[in-house]
Amino acid sequence: MLQPARTKYRKQFRGKMRGIASRGNVVSFGECGLQATTAGWVDSKQIEAARRAMTHFTKRGGKIWIRIFPDKPITKKPPETRMGSGKGDVAGYVVVVRPGRIMFEMSGIAIDKAKEAMRLAAAKLSVRSRFVVKEQV
């Protein structure tokens, strides 16, 4: 699973997910991409599951870029614990995804095959998304 090598602070506030993505919202590296249409947290396990689904479908053909990285620690208190007594331990890492963010990109494969691979990957994620193709300038 993806996680940061080190962080300045062990625990973070939950934060807000308002607005749309102002960075990482255009297809930069590949020919097509998977763009988020809703806001949410994407777990490191979901990113790995989506990557494996795309790689398996394309039979390791083409190139895949992962444009998101989970750097926000999420805490969880143990089961059957009373309220209070501080914040729980770090359970995993997530990335905050806002609408418009490109999460994955692909190139070197036919568009229809890439679309199906992205559909399989989108089923593994907790945010709604759509398939986008790079605009030719």
Question: Could you state, in chain order, the average pLDDT of each consecutive group of 10 residues for the chain (137 residues)?
Answer: 93 95 94 97 97 95 96 96 94 97 96 96 97 82
- Structural domains of the chain, with CATH: 32-74+91-133 (3.90.1170.10)
Distance of CA 106 to the CA centre of its chain: 15
**Tokens 């620690």 — which residue?**
73
Give the pTM. Answer: 0.93
List the structure tokens of 75: 């805490």
Strand order across the 89-97 sheet: 40-43, 89-97, 72-76
Residue type, 15: G
Q: What is the pLDDT of residue 53?
A: 96
